[in-house]
Structure formats: structure tokens, C-alpha cells
Chains A and B, each alone.
Chain A
Amino acid sequence: MTDVKATAGKAKKIGGFSFSTYMRRYGTLYLLLLLPIIFFIVFRYTPMAYILMAFKKNNIIKPPWQVAWAKNGGFEWFIKAFRDKQFIRALRNTITLNLLDLVCGFPAPIIMALLLNELAFKRFKKVTQTILYLPHFLSWIIISGLALRLLADNDGLINILYKRNTGNPDAVIPFLSKENWWIGSYIAFGIWKEAGWGTIIYLAALTGISPELYEAAAVDGAGRFRRMWHVTLPGLRPTIITLLIMRLGYILGSEFDRPMAMGNTLVTNVSTVISVYVYQKGINGGGQFSLTTAVGLFQSVVGILFLFGANSLAKRFGERGIV
């Protein structure tokens, strides 16, 4: 009876229920969703109005809609950024460090997950995994302190041992004080910190691979490496592609604490990435808030372009993509 009425009255039906029945049943779930929605509106969407600053005269005292437009049709700051040697340098460093991170850091958790997957002793595997996760929970400030104690030219542990072994007090490995060595240390610490954590998602994906495939491969005479190559890796492929797309969307993104904490005055030429540039030009005395907003906007737009680019590329190669 009621059903007939509902269909007759309003054509609206959600999942086979009338709107009011539906809301009575699932309304609490929507109520639960309200919290994150409010969070996003207040902390993610409202601040977006201030992107306007990138096109206005430099002013943080007045709200941007009360400030006059910047020169050159509002694009003054974008033009200025691309004429600024320091910005170009920061852009170059961001891309260099992110690409190196991608090339060296992206395969690391995959390899590690494959290795972990082959471990026969359950308990040993668990302990190893836990130890690998641990560095993820250290902040970059702590890791930079560790790096200095270990790698400093004069007082670093490794160099002290090296000097004693070689018997030459001037023989030091400039881990942190020469630009190329610093980049190496920077990437290596990044891998050490995040590779273990990164295995989690791959290990989860591995559990989804049917054991029958392994059995079939074994019957066909495939050894361990063959099975890894023909069963495990193809099984991980969708996960790898998804994560790769997300990483590419981040190609111009930059962490702040990592380069800021790991850097020092001898390597600013390679360590100053966009986020550090924004910090220095913006709140750290520079007061160039419109310029730094413009840079941030540029960063995000390029990020989105890369994300969609990688996504459509993935689809063209027959993968599902994420968008």
C-alpha cells in the first residue's frame, strides 16, 4: 500500500525506497558524513577564496577582495616569479629531487614487498616488517639530527671511523657538505624512512592474488623468480599504476620539513625547493605573500595536469586509471 502511494506521489526513489524511508534508515550515516564535509568546507574550500591573492596587490592586512588587482592584468606575480632566478632554481631543484625520489624511491617498497612475501618464517617476517615501518614514524627533524651525528664531516661517526682507519685526518666523505653527495644522502634517507611503510599497500595487494595461480605456475615448472615475475608482479600491477599516477600528480609538490631540516648553507643551491622558497619569500621576513600564493597556485595547476596526463596515459595502456 505505502509503496504504491509513494510511487504515485513522488517519482523519487532511492535504492528502492522512498526518500523519507531511505533517510529514516540511513540518515545517521549521512549525519556522520556531515563532519568531514564541514571540515572540507571550512579548511579546504573556504581558504581557496584566498587564491585571489595571487592576482592582487601584495597585502595580507586586508582581505583580497578589497585589494586592487596586480599589474599586467593580474599576472604580475607569475611574471615576476618566472623572472626570478631563485624561483627558477627552486623549480629545478623540486623537479630534480622529486624525479630522483621517484626513480630510486618508487621501486624500493615493491622490491621490499616481494622480498618480504618470499619469507617462509611467519614470525621473522612480522618482526622484519615492524622494524621496516618504524622510521616512518620519525619526524624529519629527528632524522636530520641523526644524519648530522652520523655523517657530519668532522664530528660525524662515520667520518670519525673513516679518519681513524685511514690515519689521515683530512680524509672525509662530504656526505652533507658537497652538493652531489648531499643529494645522495637526501634520497637515501627518504628511502630508508618511507620504503618500509610503502610495502603495506603492496603486501595487502599480494594477499589478493589467488594461491591457485602459484600452484599452477609451480606445476608448469616455474621456479621462485619465474613465479615472482609471472604471477606476483602482474598481480601487483593495478596497485603499482595507481600509486604511480598519484606520485606523478605530486611531481611539482614539495615537502617542507624534509629539505628544510636536511639542508644546510653549503647546499642551498640544490636543496632550496619550492616550498622552502615560498617560506623564505613569504612568512620568513620576505613578506611577498602574493608572489608566493602565485607560486603555490602554479604548483597545484601543474600537479593536476600531471595527474590527468598520467591517468589518461595509463588508460591508453589498458589500465583502469583512478579518475
Chain B
Amino acid sequence: MKRILALILTLALIASLGLVSAFAADELVDGKFAETRHITVRLFQRGDNVPETSPFADFIRKGMLEKYNVEVEFAVSGRWSETEDLATVLASGQAPDVIYTYAYPTILNYADMGGIIDLAPYIEQYKDLLPNLFTLLGEENVYWDKDPETGNLWALETRLVNNARINTFMRKDWLDKLGLAVPTTKAEFEACLVAFRDNAELLLGADADRMVPYSTSYDIGWRNNNLTVSFIPDAISDEELYIHGFDDRQQTEPGAKEAIRLLNKWYNDGLVWKDFALYGSGDTTEDDNIKAGFVGAFQHNWDYPFRNGEDSIDANLKRNVGPDAAYVAVDPFENDAGAHRKFLGSTVDRKVCFPSTNDEILASLLYLDFISSPETILFLQTGTEGINHERAENGAFMMKVVDSADPNYQASVNNIDFTMTCNGQYLGEYTEVSLAYGYAPVASELVEGAYAIAMTDGRIPGHFSLPAIEAEAEVGDTLSLERNSFLNKAVTASVEDFDKVYDDGLANYMSIGGEAIMNERAEKLEAATGYVHQAD
């Protein structure tokens, strides 16, 4: 009798467990999936790095398995071919469950094809399970792309923590050698470039004919952005910036032409690198010139000379030229109000979305929550003590040089390839004190100085929540290629031809898509806010 009772009880127990798990198949039991789930996640790869076998990948896999019983598999995609890769995996139905890219129009295009999941209902349903995600992104970023008409939410905007963008760098040792002060105006900046050109023999000796007073790349708009912005009227409204702002190079704003005219003058005066237009994206020729010490000044990401440890521009320059050689950030471009305006990044960075083939939506959202937690970000950004960093007395994380063949090596600044939802140091109370130590072996003063200048007179263009701009989905990369092409031609034109080359180029650029986008933006902005576009 006892035995039968025990049997019945056991059976009942098993049955009830089965019942519970059947009910909870999609839900969590004590915050965990009862059965192991499996998701794949997109991960960028740069160079020879093998990110999926690094301790950072292990940390995520282990953490997700322990916390949620979710197996994470990384699907690696080349950083510089990510758009093509995304098209390929989406078309073949093999997209990872969690994907991200930089261009929202691309996501919109795939959403129109039915390839992307509308996150709106899931975010509402699971909001309480995602505290870290909401804390990091904030309501603003989570609902940034929510279509006010349809209510669709195709992507989550991840968080840009550090919104410093572009700096102008100059060889401090050259300025000292020539007895020149750090330039604070355009005129002084130009005078410095002229002095570099005229003193090539003194500065470079036998390599005098390699002198490049000012270097830039084919991406004129990006690599001369501080200069461009200094020609845009200070009083320009957020609305106008939005209408013009379909790409982030500010090349259709009023005044932009004069910036290009100045570059054209510099080019014809022999101040600009003559071959800038010949080398494409990812080519290292320009960087090699800078590292070899031939270049006087350039504009780039605010921390560009400090990136990549022993292979950074700063470290190479010191090896090739001498311990005194250094690029310092300078702030010479004043605008019509006398401010040294820079357009900063807003709070958004990459855009995360789920393809329609994702059948593990909750697990995928939990993944986003997991990598958004402060503890996870702390480890992903600072790594292991003694290997990736040491602690200073004030608690600052001082990053160390890690060999690029070491699995602990971080192939991207602040390991952003792993911190999908966060771009920029996010170390809680230690963020501020750690910033300058993030770039071993670069001296912390250089980094501090560059950050301060990058933020001086910074302006964050406002955001408007509007319905999708259909015209943007169609143009893709062709519009920016066309922009680069006409700007390059304008810069390299003779001074007499400049107006014609520039005007023709801009007109063509507008006619193949630029104008359609601006008109649609203006219309939808007017419908939402009543603002009337001031045509210039």
C-alpha cells in the first residue's frame, strides 16, 4: 500500500512538473528558462582577431547560461563588410537572432520586406524583465525609432555614452621647433600649415619632399567636419539641422560650401596631401604617413591618434621620430558667433533589431539586458586586472598594452564590438577618472586635453520623432559615394573652376536623392510640429 501511494505521489509530482514546464515553456521559472534555449548573436570582427574565442565571449556565454539558461553562439561578421554580410544572411534566412547595424534606413528597408520583428509589443510585455536595458538606454533611446503613426518599433537605439566626436590634431613638436603658438583661429591655423610647408627641410630633413602640412581622406565631409561646422551659422535651428541632416557630414547646410572653398585653396597652395582621393576606405597609406611623421595636421575621431596601444599613431610617432613628437588636439575653427562649435553625437549609436527568423525573442531580449548590466559592461570594457588593466589609487582603471595576438586583446575602442548596447566608457563612479587612462601607452594628459577640446562648445542636434522617411530607404550608400566624389572633385579643382565643379556636383547629388529626402523630411516635420522649412 505504501509503495503504491509512493508511486502515485511520484507520478503526480512528475505530472505536475511536466504541466508546469509545459505552461512555462515560454516563461521563466525563477528568472530562468526551464529548458536550455539557444540564440545566435552578431559580432563584429576586425583584422586577424578571433573575437568569439576571447575571454569576453566566454564571459557572456557563461553568464547567460548561468543566469537564464540560454546558450549564446556568436555569428562573426567583418566590421568593414557588415552591410553586405547582413544582406546575405537575411536573404538566406540565416541571420543571427540579434543583429545590429549603423544605418536605420537599412533596417527600415528590411522591415518593409517583412524581415524584421516589430519589437513594440514585446518591449511592453517584457519591460519588467529588462531593468538593465531600460536603465542604460533610457526610455528615450528605447522608443527613439518608434513610428508615431503606426506604432512600429523596428529597432532599439543603443546608447552612446561618450558623445565626443571629432578633433583637429597638430604636431606640437613642429610648432615648438618653429616657435609658433598653438593656433586658435582659422587664419593662425593656415599660417601654421604654410610654415610647415615652407620649413619642410628643417622639419623633415632628407624626407622634405614627403611633407604633408594637412592630411585628409576621400571622406572630405567627415574628415573636415570641425572646419565645415565652423562655417555654418551659429543660429541655425535644430529643425533646419534635422531637415539637412540625413547624413552626418553637414554638407548641405548653409555655409558648407565656403569650408570646401577654403580646403580647395589650401589644396592649390600645396598644403593638402595630394593623393587623398586615390585611397579608399580601410586603406592605411594615410595612417602610415601620419605614423612616419610626415603630416603636420589632420582631423579625425577625437581619440584617433591614441587608439590601438602600441600600434597607435602616438606610439608609432614616438618610435619613428622621437620621444618629443606628439599630436595634440587644437581648436582653431571659430564660427560667426566666435564659438568653436562642434556637433556632438546624440545619445544614439548602433541600432539593434531581431530578424523575423528569431523564435527566441524573450531570450534575445534577456541577452540585451545581460550585456547592459553595469557588471557585464565593466568586465567587457576593462577585462582582467593585471592583464588588461591595473587600478590607480583613486580607483581609476588604467588600461595596459595587450599584444594583439593575445586572446585578451580588445580589437575595438572600449571593446564596443562586445558591448553592443553601449558605446563609450561606462564604469559608474570610475568613468571620469578612468577616461584618460583608457589608451595605454599614451600619456594621460594628451587624452585629457583632447577630450576637453572635443567637448568645447559642443552642440547636440535635437531629435524629432517622425514617421519613417521612405526616400532614405532607397538610396543606401550610393548617395554618400556621390557626395564624396563631388567633394573630392571640388577640393582638387583649380581655384577658378571651384564654383562650377562644386555647384554642378551638389546639384547632381541633390537630384539623385538628396532633394527627395530633404523634401520628405521637411513635409513630415511640418506635419508634426508646424515648422516651415526655410529654403536657402
Contact = CB atoms under 8 A, between A and B. Distances in A.
Bound pair: A and B?
yes
Contact of A280 (B87, B210, B481): B481
Given A58-B113, A269-B485, A287-B109, A155 B275 contact: yes
A127 interface: no
B280 interface: yes
B36 interface: no
Interface residues of A, number: 36
Given A59-B114, A169-B209, A287 B277 contact: no
Contact of A284 (B110, B476, B484, B511): B476
B469 interface: no
A244 to B, nearest CB: 35
Contacts of B485: 265-266, 268-269
Contacts, number: 108
Contacts of A288: 474, 476
Given A59-B114, A285-B476, A288-B476, A153 B275 contact: yes
Interface in A277-300: 280-289
A264 B113 contact: no
Report whether over half of chain B's contact residues are helix, strand or loop; otherwise say mixed.
helix
Nearest to A288: B474
A266 B87 CA distance: 28
Contact of B511 (A58, A61, A85, A289): A85
A118 interface: no
Which has the most chain B C-beta neighbours within 10 Å: A60, A84, A152, A288? A60
Interface stretch (A40-48, A170-178, A198-206): A170-178
Contacts of A287: 87, 106, 109-110, 473-474, 476
A62 interface: yes
B277 A154 contact: no
Contacts of B83: 283-285
Contact of A266 (B106, B273, B492): B492
Interface string B90-123: 1101000000000100100110111100000000
Contacts of A154: 273-275
Specify which of B114, B210, B275 lies most central, judged by the most chain A CB atoms within 10 Å of its CB.
Answer: B275
A98 to B, nearest CB: 22
Contact of B478 (A86, A170, A264, A269): A86
Given A155-B275, A264-B218, A60 B512 contact: no
Interface in A128-171: 148, 152-156, 160, 163, 169-170
Nearest to B83: A285
B209 A285 contact: no
B476 A265 contact: no
B477 A86 contact: no
Contacts of B356: 61
A152 B278 contact: yes
B277 A169 contact: no
Contact of B277 (A62, A85, A160, A264): A264
Interface string B272-292: 011101111000010000000
A283 B88 contact: yes
A153 B276 CA distance: 10
Contacts of A86: 478, 482, 512
A265 B484 contact: yes
B477 A85 contact: no
Interface of A: 58-62, 84-86, 148, 152-156, 160, 163, 169-170, 172, 176-177, 264-266, 268-269, 280-289
Interface of B: 83-84, 87-88, 90-91, 93, 103, 106, 109-110, 112-115, 209-210, 218, 270, 273-275, 277-280, 285, 356, 473-478, 481-482, 484-485, 488-489, 492, 508, 511-512
11 contacts: A60-B91, A61-B90, A61-B93, A61-B356, A62-B113, A86-B482, A86-B512, A266-B277, A266-B485, A269-B485, A280-B478
CB-based closest 5 A-B pairs: A286-B476, A154-B274, A61-B115, A285-B476, A285-B477
Given A264-B279, A265-B277, 15 more contacts: A58-B112, A60-B113, A61-B90, A61-B356, A84-B512, A153-B275, A154-B274, A177-B278, A264-B278, A265-B488, A280-B477, A280-B478, A282-B87, A283-B88, A287-B474
